[in-house]
Amino acid sequence: MVNVIELQGLSKTYGSARGLVELSLEVRRGEVFGYLGPNGAGKSTTIRLLLDLIRPTSGSARVLGLDPREDAVQLHTRIGYLAGDFVVPGRRSVGATLRFLDALRGGVAADRIDALCERLELDQNAQVESLSKGNRQKLGLVQAFMHSPELLILDEPTSGLDPLGQQTFLELTAEAAAHGQTVFMSSHIMSEVEAVADRVAIIRDGRLVALNTVSGLRTNAVRDVEITFTEPVSIVEFTALTNVTDVRMDGTTLRCQVAGSPDELLRAVVAHHVVALSVTEPALEDLFHGYYTGESDAA
């Protein structure tokens, strides 16, 4: 599979501060790649390096097979970009601004712009300077998507959007991927990433701490398990299991936590008569929180 983004040992320092530390990852053509981390983790630094808005201290990056520095002009014609702090001059209307930006990019069909504005409920007659934060974000999304670029690089794309706008964005992202476009989106909103991302990278303090599918990240997560038997069972046989912790018995009900595969627990359970069994999946917020705070090992 062709890689659209290839990073090898990419680092960026700001004086004595570290913005990014030896980041290596690949983003495949046609996938939606979620790039997660709290504010200050290094997400925007990574994006600025991809676009040659800043230069790396060490390491290398390839985007669409090209060098972001040497081939910046060619690359920028093939990329749709939404900055985390999207700003445009406010003296024009939304429609005039979009057509000005469109002309800079070589032009697209006018009905493409109209359709995107309609879907996002963005008034083209409104003055940019009068727009709310959410509507400015919609303007930014339209200018990023309107050329159907090979690669979309989106920095906190739903910031300020209402729930309907967020849902429309997710639909646009899924449609882009279905048409072979690649989407690299940074975010700290877990639910939107889970909804559309094929794979997820989690970054903390400038370092990559996990890289997997959402389901893959869940594989090693800790789950709460509750099992009710027809009669009390010995707690000892369950406390002896290697990946089972916090085992408690309450009458005929056993409660515990399982890290990773429940196979060993199930083998012990089948020796008894079971009335009910429930497994609680970790909330996505809780799952990523462990990586954010350093409580999970790198994947």
Exposed, middle or buried, 284 (CB in 10 Å: 0-12/13-18/19+)? middle
Whether residues 65 and 92 share a domain: the answer is: yes
Residue 256 lies in a domain: yes
Using one digit for the tens of pLDDT, what is the confidence trace for 40-69?
A: 889 999 999 999 999 999 999 999 999 999
Whether residues 166 and 261 share a domain: the answer is: no
Range of the domain at 227: 222-280
Whether residues 163 and 255 share a domain: the answer is: no
The pTM is what? 0.79
Of 186, 215, 244, the one marking the end of a domain is 215
Q: Is the confidence at residue 293, as pLDDT, over 70?
A: no
Whether residues 192 and 230 share a domain: the answer is: no
Whether residues 254 and 129 share a domain: the answer is: no
| Closest of 229, 232, 154, 160 to residue 196, by C-alpha | 154
Residue 295: DSSP 8-state: -
Residue 298 lies in a domain: no
| Closest of 206, 243, 186, 218 to residue 27, by C-alpha | 186
CATH of the domain at 253: 3.30.70
Q: Which two tokens stand for residue 247?
A: 């085992």
Q: Is the confidence at residue 107, as pLDDT, over 80?
A: no
Of 215, 250, 266, the one marking the end of a domain is 215
Residue 134 lies in a domain: yes
* C-alpha pair distances (Å), 227 with each of 252, 255, 265, 275, 281: 8, 6, 11, 8, 15
Residue 292 lies in a domain: no
Residue 296 lies in a domain: no
Q: Which two tokens stand for residue 218?
A: 């869940």
Q: Is the confidence at residue 277, as pLDDT, over 70?
A: yes
CA angle (173, 177, 183) in 5-degree steps: 65
Q: Is the confidence at residue 25, as pLDDT, over 60?
A: yes
Whether residues 257 and 236 share a domain: the answer is: yes
Output the pLDDT for position 298.
42
Whether residues 131 and 233 share a domain: the answer is: no
Give percent above pLDDT 70 in the chain.
93
Average pLDDT, the chain: 89
Using one digit for the tens of pLDDT, what is the confidence trace for 109-167?
A: 778 999 999 999 999 999 999 999 999 999 999 999 999 999 999 999 998 899 999 99
Using one digit for the tens of pLDDT, what is the confidence trace for 211-264?
A: 988 777 777 678 899 999 999 999 999 999 988 999 999 999 999 999 878 899
Whether residues 202 and 242 share a domain: the answer is: no
Give the DSSP letter string of 50-79. Answer: HTTSS--SEEEEEETTB-TTTTHHHHHTSE
Residue 299 lies in a domain: no
Residue 293 lies in a domain: no
Count up the domains in the chain and report the number.
2
Whether residues 165 and 116 share a domain: the answer is: yes
Count of all residues that appear for the chain in the document:
299
Whether residues 116 and 143 share a domain: the answer is: yes
Q: Is the confidence at residue 35, as pLDDT, over 60?
A: yes
Q: Which two tokens stand for residue 103?
A: 């002309």
Output the pLDDT for position 68.
94
Output the pLDDT for position 26.
96
Q: Is the confidence at residue 29, as pLDDT, over 90?
A: yes
Q: Is the confidence at residue 299, as pLDDT, over 50?
A: no
Of 161, 181, 215, the one marking the end of a domain is 215
Output the pLDDT for position 246.
93
Whether residues 20 and 35 share a domain: the answer is: yes
Using one digit for the tens of pLDDT, what is the confidence trace for 155-172?
A: 999 988 999 999 999 999
Output the pLDDT for position 87.
86
Q: Is the confidence at residue 182, as pLDDT, over 80?
A: yes
Beta strands in the chain (DSSP E): 3-14, 17-28, 32-36, 58-63, 79-82, 151-155, 182-187, 199-204, 207-212, 222-229, 244-250, 253-259, 274-280
Whether residues 249 and 177 share a domain: the answer is: no
